[in-house]
Homo-oligomer: A and B are copies of this chain.
Amino acid sequence: MKPCAVPLREPQSALARMNALGGVDGMAGMDALATPLRRRRGETLCDDRGARFLYRMSAGAARRCALSADGRRRIVDLLFPGDFFGFDGDARAGSTIEALVDGSVVLRYPRREVEALADADPQAARIIREIAFAAIARLETQIALLGRVNAVEKVGAFLLALEERQRACGQPSCERSEIQSRRVTLPVSRCDIGDFLALAPETVSRSLAALERRGAIRLPAPRDVDILDRAALRAGAQR
**What residues make up the interface of A, taking CB atoms closer than 8 Å to B?**
1-4, 6-7, 9-10, 13, 66-72, 74, 76-77, 87-94, 115, 118-120, 122, 125-126, 128-129, 132-133, 135-137, 139-144, 146-149, 153, 195, 198, 234-238
Contacts and interface: CB of A to CB of B under 8 A. Distances in A.
Given A91-B140, A128-B129, 20 more contacts: A6-B69, A6-B94, A7-B94, A9-B91, A10-B90, A10-B93, A68-B147, A69-B236, A70-B153, A76-B143, A77-B143, A87-B132, A87-B136, A88-B137, A115-B126, A115-B129, A120-B122, A132-B132, A143-B146, A149-B198
| Copies per assembly | 2
A88 B133 CA distance: 6
Given A139-B143, A148-B198, A69 B3 contact: yes
A70 B140 contact: no
A211 B12 CA distance: 46
A164 to B, nearest CB: 11
Contact of A13 (B1, B87, B90): B90
A185 B139 CA distance: 27
A190 to B, nearest CB: 17
A93 to B, nearest CB: 6
B234 A69 contact: yes
Contacts of A136: 87-88, 91, 132, 135-136, 139
A71 B143 contact: no
16 contacts: A6-B68, A9-B91, A10-B93, A68-B148, A70-B153, A70-B235, A74-B144, A76-B147, A87-B133, A87-B136, A88-B136, A91-B140, A91-B144, A118-B122, A128-B129, A136-B139
A1 B71 contact: yes
A125 B119 contact: yes
A2 B74 CA distance: 17
A91 to B, nearest CB: 4
Nearest to A49: B7
Contacts of A74: 144, 147
A234 B72 CA distance: 13
A235 to B, nearest CB: 6
Contacts of A4: 69, 71
